[in-house]
Amino acid sequence: VQLVESGGALVQTGGSLRLSCAASGLAPGDYAIAWFRQGPGKEREALSCIRASEGSPYYGDSVKGRFTFSMDNAKNTVYLEMNRLKPEDTAVYYCAASFAAYVCGLMKRPSEFDYWGQGTQVTVSS
């Protein structure tokens, strides 16, 4: 399994970004794929998770209504569309996956995900 994130950048408050995560080695079959982030001096935070067989994302409370997680199965890529960005969104954003597809229900636990990308930096200036 390989996960490669891209799209991180420096953006102003109120701006938007779209992150991508190219995934290989997961399909076919069911799996969970998620976005996490880790800000300076903070714990890793779960943002959103999709179970491949369901396609409907779960969202963490801190990003609900601002971030949208989508999946393009043809491209084996998932996306995180981030709107109305705030300085507190500054973090390294990670894509993570597990063949235990049920872990979307446990997405607050990073340890439940076996595969991680290298991360992409998002910085929101005030």
- Report the percent of the chain where pLDDT is more than 70: 100
How many helices and strands, by DSSP H and E, does the chain display? 0, 11
Confidence of residue 106 (pLDDT cuts 50, 70, 90): confident
Mean pLDDT of all residues belonging to the chain: 94
**pLDDT recorded at residue 23:** 96
- ∠ Cα 83 109 30 (to 5°): 80
Residues 84, 14: contact at Cβ < 8 Å?
A: yes
Q: What is the per-residue pLDDT across 82-105, written as a single tens digit (0 to 9) for each? A: 999 999 999 999 999 999 999 988
Structure tokens at 121: 């930096």
What is the number of other CB atoms lying within 10 angstroms of the CB of residue 105? 12
Confidence of residue 21 (pLDDT cuts 50, 70, 90): very high
Q: What is the per-residue pLDDT across 50-63, written as a single tens digit (0 to 9) for each? A: 999 888 888 888 88
**pLDDT recorded at residue 48:** 94
Residues 63, 45: contact at Cβ < 8 Å?
A: no
Residues 36, 78: contact at Cβ < 8 Å?
A: no
